Amino acid sequence: MLIDRWGRPVTELRISVTNSCNYSCFFCHREGHRSGGDEMRPEEFGRLVRILSKHGIRRVKLTGGEPLMREDLEEVVREIGSSGVEEISLVTNGFFLKERARSLKEAGLSRVNVSLHSLRRETYARITGVDGLERVMEGIDEALRWGLSPLKLNFTVLRGINEGELWDIIGFARRKGARVQIIELLESDPSLASYHYPLEEFERELERIAMRKEIRELHNRPLFHLEDGTVVELVKGSGDPLFCMRCTRARVTHDGRFKPCIAREDN
């Protein structure tokens, strides 16, 4: 079992399989980035996870960049799956998901998180730099068709841009049978401060109408169970002690560096 210096077991591995991305989300520091470093090969990811699975790693999450920029992602999933981990999930913008949901499921992918920051075509294009909302919607349907579930939607709230869609995204999640994560924009970049939208007021609204509220043990996040069965999770930041104290994750970069803390760039 991998144990960090504070006695916490490390059971989940986040692997950035590429730094490349086809989007230019203005709040993301990797906007439209094309990878310039060496990316690990599928068999190298597989070998790494097979070793780490013998020391307690049970779940693997594939991130980027945009993971589906890799044409060999299915082979990456197959290699990782050979380790016997309990779950392999994927965080994606969903642009290429329609064409690859089936092949990813057949390769062994368990589920997907789709970043969906607006349900309005113009707003979506403004945020991401890509007129891709229709493709993403089709990708979500295809992912559900092939059983990449439970599907989660990631919605980052941006003041003055999409805060008026909070209830819309919850309604969309309900219709798709998905869970939604409402994400508060981090305040680490002063140039983005005007887009920060605190979630406290919205949390109070959810508390008034939810049938049940629970606290997700990992990262101390509130989950609200609504009467219609929809589950809403609030993600309010990653820089506070409550977020960090229960962390069980480590990260591997696209070029093979192991990082015990997913929030730091100096380790």
pLDDT (tens digit, 9 = 90+) per residue, 168-208?
999 999 999 999 999 999 877 888 999 999 999 999 999 99
pLDDT tens profile 9-42: 778 999 999 999 999 999 985 534 555 568 999 9
Contact (CB, 8 A) for 105 and 147: yes
Q: In what order do the strands lie in the sheet with 212-216?
A: 212-216, 221-225, 231-235, 179-184, 152-157, 111-115, 87-92, 59-63, 12-16, 249-252, 258-259
The domain locations on the chain are 12-259
CA distance 256 to 247: 21
Q: What is the mean pLDDT of residues 66-79?
A: 98
**Topology given in CATH for the domain delimited by 12-259:** TIM Barrel (3.20.20)
At 203-251, the pLDDT tens digits run 999 999 999 999 987 667 899 999 999 999 999 865 555 556 667 788 9
Give this prediction's pTM.
0.92
